[in-house]
Chain A
């Protein structure tokens, strides 16, 4: 019983100390320094990039960084050797804070997980979207404003848009009907217009059969059955491997060769099954979009 009382006292004591801390925290002025940077010289901005896509965009804009994401993907050579701040899913905020950044750019997918903490730490954050080609362009524009490089980002956006237009040069009135099958290992899904690849195909004038099956779910990827594909019988089948790419390609071939159902698809019979290069397409929007447009233009319109 004595111990019980003792522990109760200790716990309550702890609670009171805790409450004192509560009152202390908001009093400390700590976020004001961030706002002052606007007037600072541009090149003095200390920027940490938290995702590969944005690292490449910043490399393209020839902007200096003080920290980069930990990744196996290729990033511009000039950033090699910089401090790594962890993978984009879970940036190591301790390292980020130690780099004293004026701006930390991270993937918008991880906004919810990090926003409150970054605010508490007084780190100015920009959330970069890569869910689709359109939001990617919007993010580039937003970033241009944020780091005061509107001219450069506008030029980059124009360049990307021009590549899409060039690929559409031979577009006919007929919209090709496509099924984009996304494979990771032995798991296959249909990419909808809400996915990055699906969005590119849409820009290239294709009609995605997944739209018929989606049922208002707005998910970038859908589970599907062969029956549904047979029913829709698309003109083209684009196959896109992600994750363990070699195994996935083997699984793709197995699925198409060994299943009679696939052999009945007109796309298969007409030899209109294409494998998309995953280094060009990717699951997140990236700067290789012009190459992607070129590939799709070639497939659909024989550019």
Chain B
């Protein structure tokens, strides 16, 4: 299934154009059926029609946000997998999602008047939890296995707090559930403007980490012999990964599986060189989350399904199928 060198470039470029096409094409799909003509008009005319409201203020921002979120989470996943040298690593392992969740749920359930600052506080929560994990894992440098173990411990402690809050405020849990399962419903252009600059910073930074990620793959000894400070490199890559996962989770909630599945698919097609897998994961993450979110808002008719639910239910079996097919 692996592609030859020049084909890899072609696939990456073609996927990028596919992504652009889908962002526009999926604005024609939704619970209200619009004719193609109406959609085109919505894009090119300034007239405030219902079609324009639906296309320009609802579907388009959602599609763009889905693309950003998918790219961020996929890159976060692939960077962390390279740091941990563990194919099961995903952004959640660093505690960033659980940390953000505890804070977000506290705000939603206990202090709803702070809701407007939720992204900021959720980011701080994620950063603190993740900082704690890395602090616990630090002992004369960073060992991947200790990050994983510290992550499991911190996640389970924070998970306890989430359960406690949900039991104490069980009457209001409904609104928190949507956050816990990640949803792009009712996101606005403002959310995109909020996420976009951070995404760009994080995604571009990831491109400059390609060499480091490749070197880490060689193993600690070889990396050291090549003159790399292994611990510092790990920290740097983790920081970018956590930053991307943190800002994303803070705005849309917890969306699982993208950070795990996209890097795998990406490696299956592109091999292990991050020169290809990182750009491809970025595009593929966007495509997969965009498709998942379009399913989320259409399959249930008038009933919105959190996109995190779709990525798990549909993405899980698909991932298993790929693994079996690969014979790994």
Residues in A lying within 8 Å of B, measured CB to CB: 3-4, 7-8, 10-12, 14-15, 18, 21-22, 25, 28, 30, 70, 84-87, 89-90, 92-95, 97-98, 100, 109-110, 112-114, 116-117, 120-122, 189, 195, 217, 219-221, 223, 283
Contacts and interface: CB of A to CB of B under 8 A. Distances in A.
A122 B50 CA distance: 11
Contacts of B171: 195, 219-221, 283
Contact of B304 (A4, A7, A86): A86
B186 A117 contact: yes
Interface of B: 9, 12, 16, 30-32, 46, 48, 50, 53-54, 57-59, 108, 112, 115, 167-172, 174-175, 178, 185-190, 192-193, 196-197, 200, 203-204, 207-208, 210, 275, 279, 282, 297, 301-304
Contact of B31 (A3, A95, A113, A122): A95
A11 B58 contact: no
B207 A7 contact: yes
B16 to A, nearest CB: 7
Q: Which of B115, B187, B197, B302 has the most CB of A within 10 A?
A: B302
B221 to A, nearest CB: 27
Contact of A112 (B115, B192, B302): B115
Contact of A18 (B9, B172, B193, B282): B193
B32 A95 contact: yes
Contact of B58 (A84, A89, A97): A97
Q: Which of A87, A219, A283 has the most CB of B within 10 A?
A: A219
Nearest to B171: A220
A3 B12 contact: yes
A18 B197 CA distance: 10
Given A84-B302, A122-B53, A28 B48 contact: yes
Contact of A92 (B9, B178, B303): B303
Nearest to B280: A3
A90 B178 contact: yes
A110 B174 CA distance: 9
B200 A12 contact: yes
A113 B186 contact: yes
B201 to A, nearest CB: 10
B46 to A, nearest CB: 7
Contact of B302 (A18, A95, A117, A283): A95
Contacts of A189: 170
A96 B253 CA distance: 24
Nearest to A10: B16
B50 A223 contact: no
A4 B207 contact: yes
B192 A18 contact: yes
A195 B171 CA distance: 9
6 nearest CB pairs, A to B: A86-B302, A117-B186, A90-B304, A98-B32, A92-B302, A112-B115
B200 A121 contact: no
B199 to A, nearest CB: 8
Contact of A8 (B189, B204, B301): B204
Given A3-B279, A97-B53, A112 B112 contact: yes
A98 B54 contact: yes
A223 B178 CA distance: 23
A109 B189 contact: no
Contact of B108 (A30, A86, A93, A112): A112
Given A3-B12, A70-B303, A97-B54, A116 B186 contact: yes
Contacts of A22: 189, 193
B46 A28 contact: yes
B189 A120 contact: yes
Given A92-B303, A100-B50, A11 B178 contact: no
Contacts of A30: 48
B110 to A, nearest CB: 10
B69 to A, nearest CB: 15
A4 B100 CA distance: 31
A104 B180 CA distance: 27
